[in-house]
Structure 1
Amino acid sequence: MSAAPQMPAPPPRRWSGLAFALALLALVAASFASLPLHFAALFSSEAATSVAEFLGGFAPPELAGGFLKKTAIALGETLSMSALGTLLAVVFGLLLAIPAAGRFGRVPRALVRVLLNVLRSIPELVWASVLLIAAGLGPFPGTLALGAHTAGVLGRLFADALENATPLPEQSLRTNGVAPMAAFFYATLPQTLPQMLSYALYRWENNIRAAAILGVVGAGGLGQMLKYHLSLFQMPKAATVILAMLLLVALVDAASFGLRRLLTR
């Protein structure tokens, strides 16, 4: 009689996932324990009354023709800041992503990734505050701030996409005598372009919101109008600016969603 087949040994149990989950739960519990969270005051009747009175001051929004024209100009300024800042970030992010993906060796890869970490770790508001000193008030420093921060984000995402691309097409071209950079632009880059475009569109959506916030520090656009009217307690005008922000974000979200659908077909 033949011997009974032996059952395969069970795979070794990995404790790293369980340890990570427990550490995450401990961090969440420590966060709740260390922060002074006053949920009772937040949901009290006094808080609800105060919020209702504050929001009631925004109605009705200002609909005068002159103010609507001024708001439309600021809306276009905010849109231009976000679009140009994202375009600059795409260009410089791609230029930095090539060495960050290891195309020129390990040392340039490490140095460029440190630069990308610095660019994206500094928030847009901090970039804008620094650049306002150098370039003065207006949309120009806000655009540069968006470009600097977003270049760090997109450069890292683009570099990861390039490193994760299938290497076989490029290797085949290089085996047949094609120069390394030419093989990269003809084989590897086309694989990652749809993913890169999706990343760029998503960051454009984020930059719309960031551009509106940057106006608070004097970078122009809807944010600057909002800060001005709120500081003077002109709530109806502030409500119009907030509605313009919501409309702009909704339009850009819809356009970005449609473009991503076209890219993934």
Structure 2
Amino acid sequence: MKLLSGIVLSLTLFLNAGIADSKPDPVVDELDQLADEALQLTKFSRFEEAKSLLERYAVLFSEHGMKEQTFTMDELRVLSAAHHEALRAVTSVDGEKEERIRLVTAFRLANDAVQSNHQPMWLEMESPVMDGFRQVKNAALDGDRESYDRHLNAFLSTYRVIQPSLKIDLPAEKLQKIDSKIAFLDKYRSNFTEQDWASQLEDFEADLKSLFTGVDEDEADPSLWWVISMTGSVIILTLSYVSWRKYKGEKKEMKRKDRNN
């Protein structure tokens, strides 16, 4: 039993160490909090205060995010671009409030996407994105060009809110496929008929839906699952070995008693 206890203790310490390593980075947490507060201030039209928080974000991001390699190169690129747009939104003298909120929201969601492996916030945009596209599809199938243009513009604005987050969380090939189809819809918006667009719009709706499936699964570190699997396997093998030793010992003791009798 000492052998079993030693193995279990060693593996437990190793497993706890792996879990500790997976804890969120405090720098990333602080950056995410700054982005969240900037969004809340933007919603209340407190643009100067939001600007101050975004500038504080830029300093912290430069000091830790870049120098200490807290983020991957792709994350650095996406967050830098989203931050630039958010800062431009709150400092613009003639920007509409809704557009300001959209740009700062896109920045906020991108920050969350960096640190959230389970249920990133951008998944909550599924209904606005899908409902917006269905309006585009219905207008196209009805042959209503004016309504199609209006709904397509609204859909594109909604999609751009989650686009930075998609660049962080999705494979490049999958996102490129979606973006190319969106660009096609936008470029050839005036050249459609009900017959030409029906199948294409149905396919694209399925592609959009696929953005929101599978991402919310818990993406734990594969090495952690390996440790858990190995722990269970070793414990089972050890218990089997201990049971076998006990069985052999009892059998040997019975033989010794039989000889004595």
* TM-score, length-scaled by structure 2: 0.24
Bigger Rg over Cα: 2
